[in-house]
Amino acid sequence: MTNAKYESLVTQIKICVQCDLSKTRKQAVPGEGSLNSKIMFIGEAPGASEDAEGKPFVGPAGKVLNEMLQSIGLTREQVYITNIVKCRPPNNRDPNPQEIDRCWKYLEEQMSIIDPEIIVTLGRHSLGNFFPGELISRVRGKPRRWKNRTIFPVYHPAATLHNPRLRPALQEDFQNISSLISNFNSDIDAKTSKDQEDLQLSLEFNTNHTSTPKEPSDTQQKVSKNIKQQRLI
């Protein structure tokens, strides 16, 4: 899908010089995936491989993320993947508050364009930008609301490479993401079929209570337009 607003945002990110990370990066890493997806994965910042390729999560951590997605029947192309900070911090240090602050508007714009229902925060740094002070080990795998969206915190895929004992927890959390998606989709399907039934009944009422067949009213046309699939994936 092409989206002029999104393309212009990507261009802005690629030429951004609002913080010193622009001086050491090879290239900025805006993010990638489906703009229609209702699920967005947000990591911390690009590493060396991402900096070289201009794509998020393409190094060792990305390999784990791909495996986790695959384990629940998803591909990278079906979701949207990005980071809190779009440029690699030197030597993979944590991004500092000023860098995060300067970059936050880009993430906000991505959230506004893609409008995800579920945001999966990858790791404690990403989580900390939505819920400051929360401990990842305490809140991981527990969905919670943030500005009309569901935030689902999980361990960072790279953490499972340093500490393989965290991998089962990450696997379990991805299974729960899958259930969250299924539940959301079932609710949408039920609502869609109820809206369709209601529209059908009101169209039939129109036909049965007038001598001459009527065109659908403005309201009926509006309802019909709104009955569209809004499934997560």
**Residues of the shown chain interacting with ligand URA in the complex, contacts defined by CB under 6 A:** 43-47, 50, 56-57, 59, 61, 83, 158
Q: Cβ of residue 101: shortest distance to ligand URA, in angstroms?
A: 18
> Minimal CB distance to ligand URA: which residue?
43
Q: Cβ of residue 129: shortest distance to ligand URA, in angstroms?
A: 12
Q: CB-wise, 45 or 114, nearer to ligand URA?
A: 45
Q: Cβ of residue 201: shortest distance to ligand URA, in angstroms?
A: 50
Query: What is the distance between the alpha carbons of residues 97 and 209, in angstroms, rounded to a whole number?
Result: 65
Q: Cβ of residue 202: shortest distance to ligand URA, in angstroms?
A: 49
Q: CB-wise, 125 or 199, nearer to ligand URA?
A: 125
Q: Cβ of residue 112: shortest distance to ligand URA, in angstroms?
A: 21
Query: What is the distance between the alpha carbons of residues 37 and 81, in angstroms, rounded to a whole number?
Result: 10
- Written in H, E and C, the secondary structure of the chain is CCCHHHHHHHHHHHCCCCCCHHHHCCCCCCCEECCCCCEEEEECCCCHHHHHHCCCCCCHHHHHHHHHHHHCCCCHHHCEEEECCCCCCHHHCCCCHHHHHHHHHHHHHHHHHHCCCEEEEECHHHHHHHCCCCCHHHHCCCCEEECCEEEEEECCHHHHHHCHHHHHHHHHHHHHHHHHHHHHHHHHHHHHHHHHHHHHHHHHHHHHCCCCCCCCCHHHHHHHHHCCCCCCC
Q: Cβ of residue 74: shortest distance to ligand URA, in angstroms?
A: 17
